[in-house]
Structure 1
Amino acid sequence: MELRHLRYFCIAAEELNMTRAAARLNMAQPPLTRQINQLEEEIGARLFERSSRGLTLTPAGQFFHEHTLQILEKVDTTIAGTRRIARNKHQLFGIGFVPSVFYGQLPLLVRGLRQKEDLELTLAELTTVQQIQALKAGRIDLGFGRLRIDDPDIEQEVLFEEPMMAALPNGHPLEGTTPTMAQLAEYPLILFPATPRPSMADSVLGMFRRRGLRVRVAQEANEMQTALGLVASDLGITLVPEQVRRLQRDGINYVYLAEKHITIPILCSRRKGEKPNEIMQAANAILAVLVENRRSGRYP
């Protein structure tokens, strides 16, 4: 399967008529029909229903069309960015992050780097495990996550330890208190992310297990925002890093824990042994200031 086959399919799906689709593609209709038939054979599913009145997408065709549009859009964006970098001699710098670190100082790092005119900055929401893979593949240059990963090609720096808080629905019995982990274990727990694992969900479970506490997991969500929505719906409680409290959301109250030492790290991951270029040096300098601000209490 080639990109041209996907483009042919999308044009046919828009026109729902092979003759008009072929005209848009500046090709004859029989070769286009053969290409679509070959695509269906390769996929193993019928994408179009054919009748005397024209074409209609099958349910499989609708699904394939939706996702093919996303693929082609990503390809077009990538090509445009590549041309822009080549034309302007921009340097490309990628940052991966887990969502829970984006409510603190990470936006300030991004803002600082964007002041550099010769920089093309890309951001990718990735789990810590995905960040390690992306770093090794060269897709990103810095990763910000929560999970310690032992990999000989990657170095991880603990920027600081962040206190955990409990997110409670409005009217919860523990609202306005500083609950213990034992008290929290009495209520249904919502974990995130559900996949891929290991993840922050496993870190949270470990916080309870190390204290000999059993919890009842009511729901697992793939995204933090979804988990907080479930909390607001009174389906359970969840534990979140302190900076998430900046995310004001109706129906939720954040409370500190009685055990102040229960924390989760913010880790910066880099490729090991790589000499920092000018952009990395700038990123490290900005990061050092932001970390010092956090440690000294000047929290933006």
Structure 2
Amino acid sequence: MDIRQLKYFVAVANERNFTRASEVLHIAQPPLSRQIQLLEEELGVQLILRNSRPLRLTEAGRVFYEQALQIINRLDQLKTATRQIGLQQRETVSIGFVPSTLYGGLPMLVRKLRQHYPDVDIQPVELTSTQQIGALKSGRIDVGFGRIRGNDSTVARTVLREERLVLAIPPDSPLAANAGHISLSELNGQKLIVYPKEPRPSFADHVLSFLNDQDIRPSEIHEVREIQTALGLVAAEYGLCLIPSSARLRSDLHYRLIDDPRITSPVILSHRLNDNAWYIAAIKQLVSDMYAKNPPWLDVEHNVLPGTGLPPSKKAAKEKKAQKKAP
């Protein structure tokens, strides 16, 4: 077994297809299939179920995939760290993020980090919430901004805010006739588009759990890989989609806030447990400073800060009122 075989297996597991994996790796399919077969023979177990479309991993394959990914990431980290030390390069902080956080405060945070710490190389890395856990454990990233609550005991999580969900609606839909709040029950019997398709669990499962909790049954659920595709299908009148309120990307759609304030998507800061690196405290302080200024993306109606039960501007108003009353 060598690192090349691990990379081959990870590519096949990611693509769920030998042909696509061979294209990604820039090798022919027969030698790729042969290397995976040799790997299975060496391990003495089957890693991939080849008779399914797309390909699926066996239970042993899933375990092997997670471990292989960590080994590859650790090797990349080792190469990068060694080069930085050898070339006396500046310190690097890698930040994992899910794409929807780009429509909220993450760009501002990255700008502020670069302004406050110009000698540090800030590197954003796009990863799903689930992938961020493995990336933190392997050292590929230093902190992550995701949306799915996990239960890994080696990762510390801080909920920065709860962002309410809105329903994206094509403009000619009867549901677009009203600009007010809308009940989640309106999704009964409707076509629903969810994302991302994989890996799971994901934001798609987060949305589907809300529907299951309220016994809401869409007529059809269509899974896609990313939010841009989902909103494009809404614009094509293929269905409806629940998204975080900050991700209202398309101006040709109608958006209505879900009337239940419990229907939210958290923005979660994650890092390795017991990691006391300077950048963790720095990031938390910068986030707190940003929230205190009530930027446009932290709009009044669509966000709630943890522990307050209040949207940001109402929290600030309450604090200001309390200060006036103080002797």
Q: Same fold (TM over 0.5)?
A: yes
- 1:142, 1:269 within 8 Å by CA — same for their partners in 2? yes
Is 1:241 the counterpart of 2:250 in the alignment?
Answer: no
Q: Residue 286 of structure 1: CA displacement?
A: 0.8
User: Runs of 5+ in structure 1 lacking a partner?
Assistant: 4-37, 46-74
- Cα pair 1:189 1:237 within 8 Å, conserved: yes
Q: In 2, Cα distance between the equivalents of 1:200 and 1:103?
A: 16
Q: Determine the structure 2 residue equivalent to 1:92.
A: 92
Are 1:157 and 2:158 counterparts?
yes
By how many angstroms is 1:264 displaced?
A: 1.5
Residues of 1 paired with 2:30 and 2:192: CA distance? 46
Report the AA paired with residue 120 of structure 2. L
Q: Following superposition of structure 1 onto structure 2, how do residues 47-62 of structure 1 map, counting pairs within 5 Å?
A: none
- Report the counterpart of residue 111 of structure 1 in structure 2: 111
* Residues 187, 217 of structure 2: 8 Å contact kept: no
How far off its partner does 1:240 sit?
Answer: 0.3
**Can you list the C-alpha shifts for 1:42-96, whole angstroms capped at 9, x where unaligned?**
4469xxxxxxxxxxxxxxxxxxxxxxxxxxxxx99x9799746753531110111
Please tell me whether the aligned partners of residues 95 and 140 of structure 1 are also in contact (alpha carbons under 8 angstroms): yes
> Residue in 1 aligned with 2:273?
272
Aligned CA distance change for structure 1 residues 224 and 81 (closer, same or farther; 3 Å): farther
CA distance in 2, matches of 1:135, 1:190: 30
Where does structure 2 lack aligned partners over 5 or more consecutive residues?
5-26, 35-74, 299-304, 306-311, 315-327
Q: Once the 2 structures are TM-superposed, how far is the Cα of residue 169 of structure 1 from its aligned partner? A: 1.0
**Bigger Cα displacement from structure 2, 233-242 vs 257-266:** 257-266
Could you tell me how far 1:41 is from its partner in structure 2? Answer: 7.7
In the alignment, which residue of structure 1 is the partner of 2:19?
none
Question: Do 1:163 and 1:264's aligned partners in 2 also have CA atoms closer than 8 Å?
Answer: yes
Asked if 1:226 is matched to 2:229, the reply is yes
Counterpart in 1 of 2:169? Answer: 168
Q: Which range is displaced more, 255-264 or 159-168?
A: 255-264
Q: For 1:191 and 1:40, how far apart are their aligned partners in 2?
A: 32
One-letter code aligned to 2:100: S
* Pairing of 1:71-150 with structure 2 (within 5 A): 83=83, 86-115=86-115, 116-150=117-151
Q: CA deviation at 1:39?
A: 8.8
Change (3 A) 1:208 1:122: same
Alpha-carbon distance between aligned partners in 2 of 1:288 and 1:127, rounded to the nearest angstrom: 24
Maintained 8 Å contact 2:135/2:141: yes
The answer on whether the counterparts of 2:190 and 2:220 sit within 8 Å (CA) in structure 1 is no
The residue that corresponds to 1:194 in the other structure is: 197
Tell me if the contact between 1:232 and 1:250 (Cα under 8 Å) persists in the aligned partners. Answer: no
Distance 1:158 1:210 in 2: 22
Q: Percent identity?
A: 37
Change in Cα spacing, 1:133 to 1:80, as seen in structure 2 (3 Å) is closer
Residue 109 of structure 2 aligns with an amino acid whose one-letter code is L
Q: How many Å separate the matches in 2 of 1:44 and 1:196?
A: 23
Over 3 Å counting, the alpha-carbon distance change for 1:111 and 1:86 in structure 2 is farther
RMSD of equivalent CA atoms: 2.9
Q: 2:313 aligns with which of 272, 297, 300?
A: 297
